[in-house]
Structure 1
């Protein structure tokens, strides 16, 4: 069962044991048996650390250009340093296809960490990107002892140096003080205008809920953060001020550019949370149960499989003659249906500036007026400059002027860009017997990071309001705040 799924739940193994053998062992016994099974399949937990130096040499031989940075700490016996051994400290690694792929992805990266579940503790830090077809892509990894300033500095410095040297990059993270301090370090290379840092709104809302215990006010805060225009932001923030003045004052102490969409100057591509990192955490859940060297090897195999699958999909779509991604085509089709009820007035032909009046389908009631500039690719609704493809008002202006909307789409949404993301593939790994020999000190695990040998293993995840869900809670409209319907069907 462990061969089939390394992340299999202990309770599943416990029930299977009880059904097969007729007696029910304790949770701890099954947990220990699973660790022995993992060691039997993937190698000894302690010896796995000493395989990392050879893997570092082997992966660089397999794929020249791979980056693997291993750091160790000295082993002290009394006052003396044992030169024959060294504690594993941290490891950063990435591969050439990931480095090349990020050049064709959206100019943003989401960073997060997840706990290891094996015999020894630690954290797996991951940097995630997204292509123009909404596919998520891990681009760098690190094994560290914990989420502290030293670990984040190690990870982010190598990420900046080897993977994301592009200017104008956006970094999305939670409100971890160590991440913030690392990104604001003067010599780290992460300061504006080279890079910009924003907070995940889900974590901001969770932090507010811990203090104010008002879920309705937290939802209003999220609605204000998602607002694409200042008018819409003020609308939601005024409601929040009337509902919970203390939360409003708390939110005002956080710089608006860090958590609101209307102040981000179009850098987010509508990414308000670290959801893409959470998705990768779930994908890597089985890997986190493995000995460290098997974990590192598994990232190579999983990425190779991902590049093959997504590359074939992009190639198949290119073969049909499509120019843009399926994600963009669906959005444009939806916007075209909306654009049927607009009245366009041209004001400046040279600069392609228009006014678009939106009415009901019968034309009896006006729903508002918007200024659109095709030259500067902006609209008063905020969608054009935020999403980097034409909103319904811009599409109406293109139809009025007999212009093609394709020229107003960001390059990242072109299928050729998505194909370029996965164009560079992984090479088959060289058999371990042919890896270069390692003649340094024996790398051993830090005994202080071993999980408790007695008692039931406890989860190290800090649970917040994001982990809570009430399945019986009725739907509440995002516009009128009344239960029983959503904003799509709001009367």
Structure 2
């Protein structure tokens, strides 16, 4: 599926100006449907070319825990409108194969993304990347011991171990415990996880590195090179 969008023109005689482009191949959707858990990481990376822009991607992991891209999109910036465009087209693509299983999305809490997911994929789960949360946590509460407590909390497999790790953190530094308590546990801890044990958005970070050589290319070259890499992977 290819979806191209241009800026609206006030004067119809003016040339069209590129705004957004969505790309998703049926082989990727079929692979997600038949060989992957309903778990999708979404993220954006800035393009380094003359015209800038952002590349959004939806990525999952296959049965061998390998990188498996589902769709990607070039937009003007990361905002609610561009995330809506990306997720609406992803939803249409999945509905075209009658995919009905609830999906768990993993993200870094980008601007506008939380609302876009809840508005587009109603009833689906949304989780935050624990690594991204830890970077915010570390800036306020640094230290090796607090880092160990944080990851024990994030990786706790049930409520008992979660409460124990949180109590250990509280005994070490109450301010750190209070800060972490203000973040809803079912959005970032493992024992609340749906469909997957992943607590970080590492698959999208790997995708951004996978295409790193082409992020400075013109948009058409970028899209074509990603297509070639997907063809080789498939």
Unmatched 5+ stretches in structure 1: 1-66, 308-491
Residues 302/84 of structure 1: CA separation in 2 closer, same or farther (3 Å cut)? same
**Which of residues 70, 78, 97 is equivalent to 2:27?**
97
Name 2:204's counterpart in structure 1.
Answer: 277
Partner of 1:300: 227
- Contact 1:209–1:215 at 8 Å: present in 2 too? no
**What is the distance in 1 between the residues matched to 2:159 and 2:225?**
46
SS at match of 1:140: strand
Distance in 2 between the 1:152 and 1:223 partners? Answer: 32
Give the corresponding residue for 1:107: 38
Does residue 154 (structure 1) correspond to residue 82 (structure 2)? The answer is: no
Q: Output the aligned Cα RMSD.
A: 1.6
Q: Which residue of 1 aligns with 2:158?
A: 229
SS of the residue aligned with 1:198? Answer: strand
In structure 1, the residue matched to 2:64 is 133
**Which residue number corresponds to residue 171 of structure 1?**
105
83 and 220 in structure 1: CA distance in 2 versus 1, 3 angstrom threshold: farther
Deviation at 1:213, TM superposition (A): 3.8
Task: Provide the residue aligned with 2:117 in structure 1.
Answer: 183
- 4+ residue segments displaced more than 4 Å: none
TM-score (norm 2): 0.92
Q: Deviations over 1:379-408 (max 9, x none)?
A: xxxxxxxxxxxxxxxxxxxxxxxxxxxxxx
Q: What TM-score do the two structures reach when normalised by structure 1?
A: 0.45
SS at match of 2:157: coil
Q: Secondary structure at the residue paired with 1:248?
A: helix
| Residue 214 of structure 1, CA deviation | 4.2
Q: Distance in 2 between matches of 1:86 and 1:210?
A: 45
| Cα distance in 1, alignment partners of residues 177 and 207 from structure 2 | 33
Aligned residues: 230
Distance 2:180 2:109 in 1: 13
> What is the Cα deviation at residue 297 of structure 1?
1.0
Larger Rg: 1
1:350-387: CA deviations, max 9, x gaps? Answer: xxxxxxxxxxxxxxxxxxxxxxxxxxxxxxxxxxxxxx
Query: Are 2:52 and 1:121 aligned?
Result: yes
The aligned residue for residue 128 of structure 2 is 199
Q: 1:257 to 1:73 in 2, by over 3 A?
A: same
Give, in angstroms, the shift of residue 207 of structure 1: 1.6
- What is the CA-CA distance between 1:285 and the residue it aligns to? 0.4
CA separation in 2, counterparts of 1:166 and 1:293? 33
2:56, 2:82 → 1: CA distance? 9
Q: 8 Å contact 1:74–1:85 — kept in the other structure?
A: no
Q: Which residue of 2 aligns with 1:142?
A: 73
Contact conserved, 1:139 with 1:163, CA < 8 A, in 2? no
**Aligned-partner Cα distance in 1 for 2:158–2:73:** 38
Choose which of 158, 179, 183 in structure 2 pairs with 1:254: 183
Query: Could you tell me which residue of structure 1 aligns to residue 195 of structure 2?
Result: 267
